């Protein structure tokens, strides 16, 4: 499958990995938008948030929990943001779901 993040999961494309387990991989974003900016992705290929199913409930919760654990490990206890862009209008550019985690700078609301 021609998917950038599946290739990162497989190790075919290098990434600065922070964490990996049976279900997910986390790695630093190649174009960080904050001093801390990493992505948590499922190893399973899921195209968009709209493609999540009941069978993915545990996986979806696990992605959030890993984001929290790593954000704290990377020094974001003062605050951080998680975001998942969905489809073109939502700003999604890579069609394998990924949770952005940004921290260590003030984050304005609403986002652009
Ligand atoms: P999206 O726009 O789909 O929400 O986010 C995609 C993110 O993936 C962007 O923040 C972009 O910088 C990041 N990204 C794109 N290609 C690569 C890559 O090859 N390696 C890494 N580490 N991040 C990437
Ligand atoms: Zn994929």
**CATH code, domain with 50:** 3.30.428.10
Q: How many domains does the chain have?
A: 1
Q: What is the pLDDT of residue 1?
A: 76
Residue 67 CA to ligand 2 centre (angstroms): 19
Which residue among 37, 45, 96, 98 is the active-site one? 98
pTM of the model: 0.98
H or E segment at 32? none
**Ligand 1 pocket residue status of 4, Cβ below 6 Å:** yes
Pairing between β-strand 24-28 and β-strand 80-83 as defined by DSSP bridges: unpaired
Query: Which residue has 């206890």 as its token pair?
Result: 77
For residue 108, tell me if it sits in a domain: no
The answer to whether residue 96 is catalytic is no
For residue 83, tell me if it sits in a domain: yes
Gyration radius of the chain over CA positions: 13
Domain boundaries, position 41: 4-103
Q: What is the pLDDT of residue 88?
A: 98
For residue 110, tell me if it sits in a domain: no
Atom of ligand 1 nearest to the CA of 94: 3
Going by CA atoms, what residue is nearest to atom 4 of ligand 1?
92
- Rounded mean pLDDT for each run of 10 residues along the chain, 112 residues in total: 95 98 98 98 98 98 98 98 98 98 97 87
For residue 14, tell me if it sits in a domain: yes
The torsion angles phi and psi of 65, rounded to 5 degrees, stand at -65, -40
Residue 73 CA to ligand 2 centre (angstroms): 26
For residue 12, tell me if it sits in a domain: yes
Q: What is the pLDDT of residue 112?
A: 82
**Which ligand lies nearest the alpha carbon of 45?**
2
For residue 109, tell me if it sits in a domain: no
For residue 23, tell me if it sits in a domain: yes
Handedness of CA 74, 64, 45, 3 (dihedral sign): negative
């Amino acid at each position: 499958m021609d998917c950038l993040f599946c290739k990162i999961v497989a190790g075919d494309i290098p990434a600065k990995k922070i964490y990996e387990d049976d279900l997910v991989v986390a790695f630093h974003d190649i174009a960080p938008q904050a001093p801390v900016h990493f992505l948590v992705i499922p190893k399973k290929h899921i195209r968009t948030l709209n493609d999540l199913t009941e069978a993915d409930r545990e996986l979806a919760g696990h992605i959030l929990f890993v984001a929290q654990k790593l954000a704290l490990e990377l020094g974001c206890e003062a605050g951080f943001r998680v975001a998942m862009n969905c489809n073109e209008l939502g700003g999604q550019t890579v069609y394998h779901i990924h949770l952005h985690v940004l921290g260590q700078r003030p984050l304005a609301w609403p986002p652009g």
